[in-house]
A and B are shown apart, each in its own frame.
Chain A
Amino acid sequence: MITFDIGADLFPLIACTLAAICCGLLGNFLVLRKQSLMGDAISHSVLPGLVLAFLVAAEINPSVMFAGAALAGLATVVLIEAVKKVGNVEPGAAMGVVFSIMFALGVLLIEQAAARNIDLDASCVLYGQPESLAWFSAPPSFGDLFAWRTIGEMPRQVMTLLAMTLLSVIFISVFFKELRIAAFDPALATSLGFSATLLHYALMIAVAGATVASFEAVGSILVIAMLVCPAASARLVSDRLLPQILWSVAFAIASGVVGYFAAIAVPAMFDRDAVSIAGSMTVVAGLLFAFTAVASPTQGVLARAFRQRKLARLVALEDLLATIYRRDEQGVGAAPAAQAEVSLQSHRLQSVLRLARKRSLVTGELGSLALTNDGRRVAERLVRKHRLWEDYLVRKAGVAPDHVHESAERLEHFAPAPSDGPEKDPHGKPIP
């Protein structure tokens, strides 16, 4: 189903993917600094800047419009800070105030531009229609792409995005440690001499730049999505910043490529016309996020539930071994009480027993269970830990002897044993 036509698809695809990468990179720091919505605010408020620049230049002049939009983006950041600090307004509300007024202004200005018979609509500069980047004199095969001509005929939008992506990469690699420390602890950063405020503004200028550069190709909603979704997904995959950034780039590329083809191919399967590419990329980014949230090996909902289960099974197994050990220690024959003492529901007990047999820790049937040598070693270690902890809790922590059992029960499974201890535990039992 998926067809790739160099002329129709190459540059739109590159533009979409570059926009996704550029925004995805910067988004990492927005998400970490809990300022994800700055992207939302900036991408709404560059509108009046774009239109004013258009009205001033009276034509589509990319550099003037870029400057207008960047100025509007910067003004947004400054205004939000001002409303927050001077007006004493809660941060979220301050953002809402500024971007909604700016956006309304933009909508009104467009109407005025239309009144002067200036046709904003004809240009795809504002629209973000990647389809318009089609390359009419494209070479027929991929081999012919490796020529200077390709670079020469690259649309301006793609060039801008390429430049902006490179700038973002450079910005992040040069200021990596400063950005990291400012995201983690702004006060520390400032005290170390990297002004957190300055970095904040630098980051915001970069976001405004990325927003404006992406506008021409893909439009605002994709910018907002790419500033948040890839970084948020990456945050659920990795605990460290550098891998997180790399993951976010991977997610961004995936959303870009898959989204692009899905927009065309999925409707085509049902004999329908293509849908919005930007929208489709956003949806893919959202699906990727949902998938990560559920299935991430470290942070995912499934992984955590699975770990909980595994842990509970391990604890139950250890409890079973310890129970048999204590029973043997007291010399109470093969008491059928093992089940009650471990206090497990029977189906859990069965699964724990299977696990114990598989690791050849126990032999025999329920009611006449016996420890193997391995099993005895494990159980001994556990009981030793338990009694050392009881001793520690009583002697050092001052807990009453009749209370320590429950605490020690928890500690024996997770915590390393206190290093030294006497021969006997508080209840007078020997410590193995």
Chain B
Amino acid sequence: MIGLSAHLGSFHSHGRTSITDVTDELPTFAEIFETLTFQAGFNTNMVVLGTTLLGLAAGVVGVFALLRKRSLVADAISHATLPGICIAFLAAVVLGHEGRSIPILLTGATLSGIAGVLCIHAIVRCTRLHEDAAIGIVLSVFFGAGVVLLTYIQKNASAGSAGLDHFITGQAATMVTQDAVVMVSIAGVCLLLVVLLFKEFSLVCFNESFARATGWSVSLLDLIMMALVILVTVAGLQAVGLILVVAMLILPPVSARFWTDRLWLLVLLSGLIGASSGYLGSSVSALLPRKPAGAVIVLAAGVLFVISMLGAPARGVLASLVRRLSLNMRIASEHLLEAAYEQEGRPIPGDQIRGLARLRAWPLWTLPLMKLTLNRKGYLASVTAEGWRLTPAGLARGAQVSRNHRLWEQYLVSYADIAPSHVDWSVDQVEHVLTPELVAELEHELRMRGIEVGAS
């Protein structure tokens, strides 16, 4: 594992990787407060500010990379920067400049990132291979070339070569004011372009062929989008490292997507999540010993991702589980209502309920939940030894469900020839989700075919 070995190498050569790593003790509250409020010394402030802005820019740009389904192209780009960095270093040394000058190195990184994108494009265009293989090839071959150059530099160009490997896993502590200024300007450029081209980007991401047909230059817009991705990647190399910078582009938008269905809100939230993971990550890294900033920032974003995926009310896993369960409960309880209606209002004995549960494959533990559902809607009158007794409202609902069921069956039978797309809807499901408008339409269609449906 090259990335790992390089990192370990740096660990051993520097002894510590976090900014204020002087002891193994936990920080005091005063220290935490100072770091979080930008009062912990100039260097720490620059790092925290820089990574926060990086997170913001990456989050905003990442949304469009995600929606254009190009997230992993960013991975290839970040790996592809390594040979550029090394070549820039060698060229600078040959030309007699200071090899470690950050602007020179980042220029090299940008150029080889662009070369990587072009190679992916060429492979997809000129061969039968798909994008995944193209990304894999560019990512590994460019990175391999970078490693070759890196080992060459480390073994042969002894002077001033230390620190190039920081670009692999990142070294936020080495950031200086100049780098923070670079971050500010890159974040500014990204935000400005995203605001200006918001509608163009969203159009291309949503419906490329329509964009083309209405005369937008899709390739130009894609180019601008990729340029922004390269910009953010290069900006993040120093702080987060080239292996993890892709996380800054992917995690915030994916997390934000769980919270909202509005694009502008998605962009806003994603920027916010990116910024807060940058802020939290670099602060933790500054406060605790042996917490490399890049990894902590990504883990902070990862924690936000897990929270979002599980807990977001709009598309989160828990929320949709609850929704599915409550739909199942509704369907199950309506089956019960239907059964009660068919028994003309006599209470349903417990045995029959269990039988019904077996038939419909409900787990028995759902019975109390079902009781609760029925109770809440005011359908359940009482539960006695005799069985469950329903209220008149419950029976009326049962009648309605039973009628929907028969209507739908009738529809399937009489329209079997022209409704093939609907046949796979299970009868059991459909009757519970029919809206009043759909029921009216069903009645209309059946009457058109001369089938008597009766009054509702």
**Which A residues have a C-beta under 8 Å from some C-beta of B?**
31, 34-37, 39-40, 44, 47, 83, 86-90, 92-97, 100-101, 103-108, 110-112, 114-115, 120-121, 126-129, 215, 219-222, 224-225, 227-229, 231-232, 235-236, 263, 267, 272-276, 278-283, 285-286, 289, 293, 299, 301
Task: Sort A-B residue pairs by CB-CB distance and give the 3 closest, nearest first.
Answer: A282-B144, A286-B141, A100-B247
> What is the 8 Å Cβ interface bit string for chain B, positions 379-397, against chain A (1 contact, 0 not)?
0000000000000000000
Answer whether residue B8 sits at the interface, using C-beta atoms and an 8 A cutoff.
yes
- A285: chain B residues at CB < 8 Å are 140-141, 144
Q: In whole angstroms, what is the CA distance A83 to B316 when docked? A: 11
- A281: chain B residues at CB < 8 Å are 144
Q: In whole angstroms, what is the CA distance A104 to B4 when docked? A: 11
Q: In whole angstroms, what is the CA distance A36 to B147 when docked? A: 21
Answer whether residue B71 sits at the interface, using C-beta atoms and an 8 A cutoff.
yes
With A101-B305, A126-B1, A228-B140 known as contacts, the answer to whether A31 contacts B129 (CB < 8 A) is yes
The answer on a CB contact under 8 Å between B302 and A101 is yes
- B429: chain A residues at CB < 8 Å are none
Which secondary structure dominates where chain B touches chain A? helix
CB distance from A275 to the nearest CB of B (A): 4
A-B CB contacts (within 8 Å), total count: 241
Answer whether residue B336 sits at the interface, using C-beta atoms and an 8 A cutoff.
no
Partner of B123, one of A83, A279, A293: A293
The interface stretch among B150-158, B177-185, B229-237, B259-267 is: B150-158
Q: In whole angstroms, what is the CA distance A404 to B279 when docked? A: 71
The answer on a CB contact under 8 Å between B290 and A100 is no
CB distance from A131 to the nearest CB of B (A): 11
Q: In whole angstroms, what is the CA distance A279 to B168 when docked? A: 14
Answer whether residue B405 sits at the interface, using C-beta atoms and an 8 A cutoff.
no
CB distance from A11 to the nearest CB of B (A): 20
The answer on a CB contact under 8 Å between B128 and A299 is yes
Closest-by-CB residue of A relative to B73 is: A92
- B72: chain A residues at CB < 8 Å are 37, 92-93, 95-96
Closest-by-CB residue of B relative to A100 is: B247
Interface size on B, residues (CB 8 A): 69
Q: In whole angstroms, what is the CA distance A224 to B254 when docked? A: 25
Q: In whole angstroms, what is the CA distance A93 to B148 when docked? A: 29
Partner of B148, one of A89, A95, A276, A299: A276
> What is the 8 Å Cβ interface bit string for chain B, positions 67-100, against chain A (1 contact, 0 not)?
0011110010000000000000000000000000
CB distance from B317 to the nearest CB of A (A): 5
Which secondary structure dominates where chain A touches chain B? helix
The answer on a CB contact under 8 Å between A276 and B2 is yes
The answer on a CB contact under 8 Å between B127 and A276 is no
Interface residues of B in 103-128 (CB under 8 A from A): 123, 126-128
Q: In whole angstroms, what is the CA distance A227 to B136 when docked? A: 9
Answer whether residue B362 sits at the interface, using C-beta atoms and an 8 A cutoff.
no
For this complex, 9 residue pairs linking A to B, each with C-beta atoms less than 8 Å apart, are A47-B4, A93-B66, A104-B298, A126-B5, A222-B140, A229-B136, A274-B155, A280-B144, A282-B145
Partner of A107, one of B2, B70, B144, B295: B295
Q: In whole angstroms, what is the CA distance A321 to B147 when docked? A: 60
Closest-by-CB residue of B relative to A289 is: B137
With A108-B291, A114-B11, A220-B3 known as contacts, the answer to whether A96 contacts B139 (CB < 8 A) is no
Q: In whole angstroms, what is the CA distance A129 to B250 when docked? A: 32
- A34: chain B residues at CB < 8 Å are 130, 132-133
- A215: chain B residues at CB < 8 Å are 1
Q: In whole angstroms, what is the CA distance A304 to B150 when docked? A: 38
> What is the 8 Å Cβ interface bit string for chain B, positions 287-304, against chain A (1 contact, 0 not)?
001111011101100100
> What is the 8 Å Cβ interface bit string for chain B, positions 163-185, against chain A (1 contact, 0 not)?
00000010000000000000000
Answer whether residue B244 sits at the interface, using C-beta atoms and an 8 A cutoff.
yes
